[in-house]
Amino acid sequence: MASASSPLGTILVDGEGRTLYLWEADTTSRSTCSGECAKEWPPVIVSGEPVAGEGVKAGLLGTTKHSDGSREVTYNGHPLYYFADDKKVGGINGQKVNDSGAEWYVLDTSGNEVTDRAKSGTPQPSPAQPTSGGGH
């Protein structure tokens, strides 16, 4: 796991730079996304222990047993997933998607969902106006 800069701010990604998501329907560290849900939102699976890369808090990394018996990575108690429609590294197409009964969000490096699409001032398709102050 690592961190990466995105239009949503600094977010959690895998070692190859693919965006990771949490699902609001998961109320514990155990994944509730399986079957058709897991086809669209594949769980992040490991065979050994997950490794904390740059910007990632090792103490927040863990694993849980997925419904198929594999070991799914968790971060800050959230099971982690990919989004099938993120076709390239850095894609964030799953952000705020309401699918399989709840919304999906990217995570920040503290393990919290990122809800502000206008953090960087990059125009986003939304009725809200960007709130960039222009000062870095």
Query: Is the alpha carbon torsion for 23, 100, 32, 88 positive or negative?
Result: negative
Which residue type does 119 have?
K
Predicted pLDDT at 45? 97
**pLDDT (tens digit per residue) in 61-103:** 999 999 889 999 999 999 999 999 999 999 999 999 999 999 9
With tokens 């990394």, the residue in question is 61
Looking at residue 130, what is its pLDDT? 29
Q: How far, in Å, CA of 94 to CA of 105, rounded?
A: 7
Q: How confident is the model at residue 116 (pLDDT cuts 50, 70, 90)?
A: low
25 in Cβ contact with 100 (< 8 Å): yes
Question: Among residues of the chain, what percentage have pLDDT more than 90?
Answer: 82
Instruction: Give mean pLDDT, residues 123-130.
Output: 33
